[in-house]
Amino acid sequence: MLPLFISYTYLLLSTAVQIGNAAAGKINIFILAGQSNMSGRGGVVNLTWDGYIPPESSSNPSILRLTANLSWVPAAEPLHRDIDVAKVCGVGPGMSFANSLLRKDSRRFGVVGLVPCAIGGTNISEWVRGGDLYEQMMRRAKAAVHGGGVIQGLLWYQGESDTVSLEDAECYKNRLHRFFVDVRADLHLPLLPVIQVALASGSGSYIDIVREAQLGTKLENLRTVDAKGMSLQDPERLHLTTPAQVSLGKMLSKAFLQTSNPLSS
Q: Are strands 72-74 and 63-66 parallel, antiparallel or unpaired?
A: antiparallel
126 sits near ligand NAG (criterion: CB under 6 A)? yes
Checking DSSP bridges between strand 63-66 and strand 48-49, what pairing results, if any? unpaired
- For residues 155 and 101, give the distance between their C-alpha atoms in angstroms, rounded to a whole number: 14
Distances (CA, A) of 25 to 12, 31, 62: 6, 19, 11
Is residue 166 at the binding interface for ligand NAG, with CB under 6 A as the rule?
A: no
Strand partners, 225: 197
Residue range at the interface with ligand NAG (CB under 6 A); choices 91-99, 135-143, 213-221, 231-239: 231-239
Asked if 77 touches ligand NAG (CB under 6 A), the answer is no
Task: Find the shortest distance in angstroms from Cβ 105 to ligand NAG.
Answer: 28
Distances (CA, A) of 57 to 7, 73, 120, 224: 22, 16, 20, 22
Q: Does 155 bind ligand NAG (CB under 6 A)?
A: no
Q: Which is nearer to ligand NAG, 159 or 193 (CB)?
A: 159
Least Å distance, CB 255 to ligand NAG, is: 15
Of 23 and 194, CB closest to ligand NAG: 194
Contact region with ligand NAG (CB under 6 A), list: 102-110, 120-128, 185-193, 252-260: 120-128
By C-beta, is 180 or 206 nearer to ligand NAG?
Answer: 206
Q: Does 160 bind ligand NAG (CB under 6 A)?
A: yes
Smallest separation, CB 126 to ligand NAG (Å): 5
Instruction: Measure the CA–CA gap between 219 and 129, rounded to whole angstroms.
Output: 19
The 3-state DSSP class for residue 80 equals coil
23, 91, 168, 251: which one contacts ligand NAG (CB under 6 A)? 168
Core vs surface per residue 201-231: b (16+ CB within 10 A) or e: bbebebbebbbebbeebeeebbbbbebeebe
Q: Between residues 71 and 136, which has the closer beta carbon with respect to ligand NAG?
A: 71
37 binds ligand NAG (CB under 6 A): yes
Q: Which of 248, 206, 242 is nearest to 225 (CA)?
A: 248
Pseudo-torsion of CA 46, 75, 150, 18, nearest 10°?
A: -150
- Using rule CB under 6 A, residue 251 touches ligand NAG: no
Please report, as ranges, the residues that interact with ligand NAG according to CB under 6 A.
Answer: 1, 35-37, 45-46, 67, 69, 71, 73, 82, 123, 125-126, 160, 168, 199-202, 227, 230, 232, 238-240
